[in-house]
Amino acid sequence: MDRRGFLVGGLAGGAALALAGCSGTLPQVDAQVAGFGQKATGTVHVWCRAATQAGLTSAVAGFNKSHPDLQVELTPVPDGQYVTKLATAIRGGEPPDVVDLDDINSQLFIFREAFADLTDVVKGLDYYDELSTGHLRLLEYRDRLYGLPYLADNSQLFVNTELFDRAGLDVEESTKDLATLLDAAKRLRKLGDDVYGWTISGNAAGIIGFVTQPHVWATGVDMMSGEVGKQQANITGNTALEQMLEFYRQLWKDGVLSRATYSDAGTTWGADFRAGKVGIMPTSYGAAVPAATKAMRAKMQTVLIPSADGRRSFFDGGDNMCIPNGAANPSGGWAFMQYANSLEQQQLLPNGGYFPTRADAATPAYRKQFPLAYGPLDAIDKGYAPQTLAYNLLVNQPSSPYFAMFREAVFGAGVSAAMRTAQSDYQRILDQVQA
């Protein structure tokens, strides 16, 4: 699975306009009705992102086998078309029963009252306290919940322990903040002309946002402030952001990153790390582990992404499941959502390159089977992704201000000028989307 494919696709301006018609016009689903999610029959129409279809296929097969009277029909939708197609279906009065969508896009529909209020049934789950706080935050609006976390795509630092040993570095001590990371990356670079301390796809907007923002979020600040619909840009004066950009600029200036970083659009994301030629890589489980050899996997270790002051975070990406208002079979949809979030199904997700969204999935047996897939589960409250109506326009698009800021700060004229430009561009986009 190439994360670049679904991170770069994003939400275009036309899709944002399409969402304007998604007000609360369809019949509201009543999730408090007696027997909701029990003894449902018929068909459940589920839409999923094509990029994460692999994470859902086995769950659908298992559900259909164990529920002969309630069958799921799964429809994958290309990621670049998902928001527009779903908005069109809602406006047309024929939404699917369940949508499995990029968690970062949840607020686009929740803000416009397009999804069912599932607060009581979600909070009534016996594992509610184990759920990913980052995913739940993206499902929350005015103290109500409008869906259930499903799968996680988290960014972490992956390190090559063999190279660390050769450089005389301790993994924990050398990755605790930006200063120790920079020193470690420089020492790793000295191991040989073909060995680099760090790797990043410097020309892939979605990847850059995915792996660099947690350095900032770990400090408790974001690149915007305020509640959804009334947000303001928070770029200039953002010390944690400035420190992160300076860190990457120094990596580039010191030759710790390969020259190919400048043009790397992510088409072979992680190949250099999997080949054993890089000491540190911020990336996803799916980009680092599944395609690696058994020998290379044995050399890998993960830590969460640190800030300049030593706090840690990770990008809480992945999918949420929601029931649109107007769904024909919402009770059946909730039955399937509970099945997909059962411990047994959650513990299978690393087979498709993803993490569970339940901390209690990290049992001893799970840890033994997936030794590189439990770091975020042990610190599930450290994950974050911003609540906003404009994430794709701000970060994921090739024309986004975050991408332009990073490129100019790291490869161009410098950090201060790049941040000043990004401040005005962020605010312009927020004002347009929130108008």
Structure tokens at 51: 């990029």
State how far Cα 158 lies from the chain centre: 17
Q: Other C-beta atoms within 10 Å of 272: how many? A: 19
The span from the first CA to the last CA of the chain, in angstroms, equals 36
Per-residue pLDDT at 9 = 35
Per-residue pLDDT at 4 = 31
Per-residue model confidence as pLDDT tens digits over 363-407? 999 999 999 999 999 999 999 999 999 999 999 999 999 999 999
Per-residue pLDDT at 20 = 57
| Residues 300 and 270: beta-carbon distance below 8 Å | no
Residues in the chain where the model's pLDDT stays below 70: 1-24
Per-residue pLDDT at 231 = 97
Of the candidates 71, 104, 106, 62, the residue with the CA atom closest to the CA atom of residue 86: 106
Buried b (16+ CB within 10 A) or exposed e, 96-110: bbbbbbbbbbbbbbb
Per-residue pLDDT at 23 = 55
| Residues 300 and 292: beta-carbon distance below 8 Å | yes
Per-residue pLDDT at 21 = 55
